[in-house]
Structure 1
Amino acid sequence: MESLKVLVTGGTGFLGSEIVKALVQAKNYEVTAVDINPPALGTSTFADVRYVRANILHPEELAKVFKEAKPAIVIHAVGVYPLGLARYSPKGKEAVFAVNVEGTKNVIEAAKDCGATGLVYTSSITVLVDEIDADFANADETWPTGRAKLVYGQSKTIAENLVLAANTTDFLTCSLRPATIFGPGDPACIPTIHSCIAKMESPIILGTGTNLCDFAYVSNVADAHVLAVRNLLNSGTAAGEAIFITNGEPIAVRDFCLALWKEFGHIPPFQLRIPEGLAWWLGVIVEGVGWAVGKQGTLSRGVVRDGTAVRYVSIAKARRLLGYKPRVGMTEALEISCAHYKRQIGGR
């Protein structure tokens, strides 16, 4: 059986490299990994994968790479997201929109022009939950988007709409919306929560600490992309659809943090519960002081809202259309992720 050609943008990044790995393990795909950066140290690379350096903001460069690769289908996993408190700021909007929106336009055009029959887009749960002041309990894909208040969610919403609007009988597209992704090499989730130990912030509980949120282990998200590729190449029932991808295990934010810290041998010595209203005002004060002294603090109104909101969704559609079933459960996923991060920071 001839291998099907798949091109992955962002193929050396945190998620992209895991998607490449999943495609290689599936054994019937010929993979081209396209990225602006070479593979990071410690990232798995494969002798039979073609790694190509290209910038999705350069249409001519992208078109050349796509025409050489001749993919049957494209996975577009490139994206930029603001880290830390930058998540809540409008600063840097142009850079985020350039990659997430203009870059996506370029990828769609390059994919169509090179003769690809479809595209799987890595969207984000933030198309919904970046409506920062709202709660989302067991939300599904019928819940309306377009209300995101934060830059990242806004950019992913526009890009997702572009992808789904490009869906035709000759060019099938779908959009996967992962929850917060964590795993080995995770640049944000694990390091951020782990850093609370050194900053002596682990005892602090914002609000009730019982609000449920979703997370997604990186290899489960990669599996979903492979399933989406298979769907578009076969039945096509996912064409034109947006689909949430999570671990299917909503967990209280506090419990997730406690489980993570426990992997590093840390148990908060006491608990300090700050009611949400008070925490919000403290966020205002910390933001004001940070502005005055030119240095950001840990707390902000955005952090309080993110930390106290209900943010979990249904994956019934992913199960039904893609046959998605998370292979790695939350307990095992945290063990693997934290063990990797422990090695990264030298065993601390």
Structure 2
Amino acid sequence: MATEVAAGDAATSVCTVIGGRSSFIGRSLVAMLLRSPAGWTVRIADSHPFLQLDPDEERNPILSDSIQSGRVSYFQVDVRDGSQISRAIEGSSVVFYMGASDSTSRSFYDQYKVIVQGTKNIINACRHCKVERLIYNSSADVVFDGIHDICHGNESSPYPFKFEDRLNDLRAQAEALILSSNSADGLSTCALRPSNPFGPGDSHFIPSIVNEAKSRWAKFFIRSGRTMCDYTYVENIAHAHVCAENALRSGIAPVAGEPFFITNLQPMETGEFASAILDGLGYQRSNFHVPHKLLIFLLMLVGWAYKKFDLLSSPSYLRVAFLRSFLCIRAFDCSKAQKIIGYSPVISLEEGIMSTTDSFSHLARGSPYMRELDLSKSSNVEKLLGSGKVADILLWRDETKTFAYALGLFLFLHWFLLSERTFLTSIAKLLLLVSVILFGHGRLPPTMFGFTIDKISPFCFEVSQTTMRSVLMSLSSVWNRGLYMVNTLARGEDWSTFLGVRNQSEASSSSSKYISICLLVTISTFR
């Protein structure tokens, strides 16, 4: 049932922001609408049972004063219930839908009900209540398949045939529903696609970067992110919604039924953006760089393993997906939004980063909130492992050595265990690979691209006569000892050895019967 905090003045323009509390973009939009000279009466619809102000909002009188004056009302709404939506938006001329921000559920059915079915319910409620304009906050990732780079993507880019991230798949379906419902019962719609939203109140993107900074291995990914991406400050996204509403209301430009990419118009390297955020929070940069293609290859292998063992819903796979998208190019062309709805950023990227780090001071290194997670303190594991070579590798004290050992271990496991080949086949293929590499190295010219290639001397492959004689003598000695033992067992002179061999054979495998039979046959043959 809807819980209303205050009733608005029916004589003023009424708008509803669905997701105006759970979404940090929705919160920024509500504040901007209240500051607008248009005199909006704002209805906030969200899943929380009641409206509770944060300490920052209590110090900022805009929202609290608007509640007391009657400009703001709050409704508890479950988007899966169409009647609750209709009750909240009744009498509104425009609805801003922030999209489902709660992706904590791992059930695909629950996510579908909230994102796709919830969008259908909102569209039907808007048509039933004669709402004039519906503006949907989508995502630039609706055209990102999770694998391929996007350079200067524009609105002509199609939806991918297959998504790596099912949430982006569901968001794309919801956006398609919004755009296809344009002109139905007088409803005008459009969709905004912000790229990598960030800012105060963000509960996903910035905390994910901070969590990766606390990881000893993920910092390689953060520092090695050399791909260009667009990042959009939250106030600019809210401003884009206001611009879209004005353009829809005027009806001059072709806005209805169209999507628009929203960016800060300042593409930035992913590693530099993350480092700028972490520098502002007091985290130390890593100087260790890993080749970009190698990181992509490793993430592809890890993602393949998760898919093979059906672990797509595990938090670790979501972390891998985040790092994979972090290393992909996602740069978009925002000229359509600039030209048609009159959008331009009101906050620069540098100002947005500074404002964001100030708002996340509770996540700063050394803050009381993060003191228990301070990596400079010795953990129980560090005290247990001590300061030996093994501890240095396991605890990432020597980053280069640890990465080399981890890569070698992964390749060993993949070559001998995950390849589903027999052990002898794996060894044979490994020797063949070594032979091909040595042959290729031998065929290389002395210099290439200005670099001198050191050749392996043929003497390295020579075996001296003394060494060869020693190896042959050792083999013949082992062979003679084996024959002597078999002869001894055949003559019945050492039954203790026979019984010991037989008992070990029975304990080793289920084929011990055949081993014993073969042993008895051998003895009878020598007799």
Residue 239 (structure 1) aligned with residue 256 (structure 2) = yes
Residue 19 (structure 1) aligned with residue 29 (structure 2) = yes
Q: C-alpha displacement at 1:287, in angstroms? A: 7.8
Question: Does the CA-based 8 Å contact 1:80-1:96 persist in structure 2?
Answer: no
Q: C-alpha displacement at 1:62, in angstroms? A: 1.7
Q: Distance in 2 between matches of 1:246 and 1:111?
A: 28
User: What residue number does 2:384 align with?
Assistant: none
**Which one of 336, 340, 346 corresponds to residue 355 of structure 2?**
336
User: What residue number does 1:66 align with?
Assistant: 89
Using a 3 Å threshold, how does the CA distance of structure 1 residues 42 and 78 change in structure 2: closer, same or farther?
Answer: farther
Question: Does the CA-based 8 Å contact 1:79-1:99 persist in structure 2?
Answer: yes
Using a 3 Å threshold, how does the CA distance of structure 1 residues 344 and 236 change in structure 2: closer, same or farther?
Answer: farther
Q: C-alpha displacement at 1:232, in angstroms? A: 1.2
Which structure 1 segments of 5+ residues have no match?
none
Question: Does the CA-based 8 Å contact 1:206-1:274 persist in structure 2?
Answer: no
User: What residue number does 1:53 align with?
Assistant: 76
Question: Does the CA-based 8 Å contact 1:182-1:189 persist in structure 2?
Answer: yes
Question: Does the CA-based 8 Å contact 1:248-1:315 persist in structure 2?
Answer: yes
Residue 309 (structure 1) aligned with residue 325 (structure 2) = no
Residue 165 (structure 1) aligned with residue 180 (structure 2) = yes
101-110 vs 2-11, greater mean Cα deviation: 2-11
Q: Distance in 2 between matches of 1:341 and 1:143?
A: 35
Q: C-alpha displacement at 1:300, in angstroms? A: 6.3
Q: Distance in 1 between matches of 2:217 and 2:282?
A: 15
**Which one of 20, 30, 50 corresponds to residue 41 of structure 2?**
30
Q: C-alpha displacement at 1:218, in angstroms? A: 0.8
Amino acid at match of 2:337: A
User: What do residues 56-108 of structure 1 show as CA deviations (whole Å, max 9, x unaligned)?
Assistant: 111122222222xx00111111313647xx9xxxx522222211111111111
What does 1:239-258 align with in structure 2 at a 5 Å threshold? Answer: 239-258=256-275
Secondary structure of 1:174 counterpart: strand
How many residue pairs get aligned? The number is 338
Question: Does the CA-based 8 Å contact 2:212-2:219 persist in structure 1?
Answer: no
User: What residue number does 1:181 align with?
Assistant: 197
Using a 3 Å threshold, how does the CA distance of structure 1 residues 204 and 16 change in structure 2: closer, same or farther?
Answer: same
**Which one of 306, 324, 330 corresponds to residue 343 of structure 2?**
324
User: What do residues 313-336 of structure 1 show as CA deviations (whole Å, max 9, x unaligned)?
Assistant: 011011011111111111111111
What does 1:169-318 align with in structure 2 at a 5 Å threshold? Answer: 170-201=186-217, 203-205=219-221, 209-235=225-251, 237=253, 238-277=255-294, 279-281=296-298, 284-285=301-302, 288=305, 297=316, 302-318=321-337
User: What residue number does 2:466 align with?
Assistant: none
Secondary structure of 2:360 counterpart: helix
Give the 4+ runs in structure 1 shifted more than 6 A: 289-295
Using a 3 Å threshold, how does the CA distance of structure 1 residues 134 and 54 change in structure 2: closer, same or farther?
Answer: same
200-209 vs 317-326, greater mean Cα deviation: 200-209
Q: Report the aligned-residue RMSD.
A: 2.8
Q: C-alpha displacement at 1:175, in angstroms? A: 0.6
Secondary structure of 2:152 counterpart: strand
Secondary structure of 2:44 counterpart: strand
Question: Does the CA-based 8 Å contact 1:243-1:318 persist in structure 2?
Answer: yes
Q: Distance in 2 between matches of 1:74 and 1:198?
A: 40
Q: C-alpha displacement at 1:205, in angstroms? A: 3.6
Which structure 2 segments of 5+ residues have no match?
1-10, 58-62, 371-527
Higher strand share: 1
User: What residue number does 2:147 align with?
Assistant: 133
**Which one of 65, 72, 76 corresponds to residue 97 of structure 2?**
76
User: What residue number does 2:413 align with?
Assistant: none
Secondary structure of 1:204 counterpart: helix
Q: C-alpha displacement at 1:16, in angstroms? A: 1.0
Secondary structure of 1:99 counterpart: helix
Higher helix share: 2
Using a 3 Å threshold, how does the CA distance of structure 1 residues 247 and 278 change in structure 2: closer, same or farther?
Answer: closer
Using a 3 Å threshold, how does the CA distance of structure 1 residues 106 and 193 change in structure 2: closer, same or farther?
Answer: same
Question: Does the CA-based 8 Å contact 2:44-2:72 persist in structure 1?
Answer: yes
User: What residue number does 1:4 align with?
Assistant: 13
What does 1:69-148 align with in structure 2 at a 5 Å threshold? Answer: 70-80=91-101, 82=103, 91-129=106-144, 131-148=145-162
Q: C-alpha displacement at 1:197, in angstroms? A: 2.9
Amino acid at match of 1:248: L
Using a 3 Å threshold, how does the CA distance of structure 1 residues 272 and 208 change in structure 2: closer, same or farther?
Answer: closer
Using a 3 Å threshold, how does the CA distance of structure 1 residues 31 and 297 change in structure 2: closer, same or farther?
Answer: closer
Q: Distance in 1 between matches of 2:338 and 2:306?
A: 47
TM-score, normalised by the number of residues in structure 1: 0.87
Using a 3 Å threshold, how does the CA distance of structure 1 residues 277 and 299 change in structure 2: closer, same or farther?
Answer: farther
Q: Distance in 1 between matches of 2:306 and 2:258?
A: 45
Higher relative contact order (CA 8 A, sep 6+): 1
15-24 vs 205-214, greater mean Cα deviation: 205-214
Q: C-alpha displacement at 1:174, in angstroms? A: 0.5
Question: Does the CA-based 8 Å contact 2:133-2:248 persist in structure 1?
Answer: yes
Q: Identity rate of aligned residues, in percent?
A: 24
Amino acid at match of 1:56: V
User: What do residues 114-151 of structure 1 show as CA deviations (whole Å, max 9, x unaligned)?
Assistant: 1111110111111101x112111011001111434121
User: What do residues 225-280 of structure 1 show as CA deviations (whole Å, max 9, x unaligned)?
Assistant: 11111111112521111001111111111111111111022232431314434553
TM-score, normalised by the number of residues in structure 2: 0.59
Using a 3 Å threshold, how does the CA distance of structure 1 residues 26 and 344 change in structure 2: closer, same or farther?
Answer: farther
Q: Distance in 1 between matches of 2:182 and 2:301?
A: 44
User: What do residues 271-324 of structure 1 show as CA deviations (whole Å, max 9, x unaligned)?
Assistant: 131443455336635885997999854896534531321111011011011111
Q: Distance in 1 between matches of 2:277 and 2:42?
A: 34
Question: Does the CA-based 8 Å contact 1:190-1:338 persist in structure 2?
Answer: no
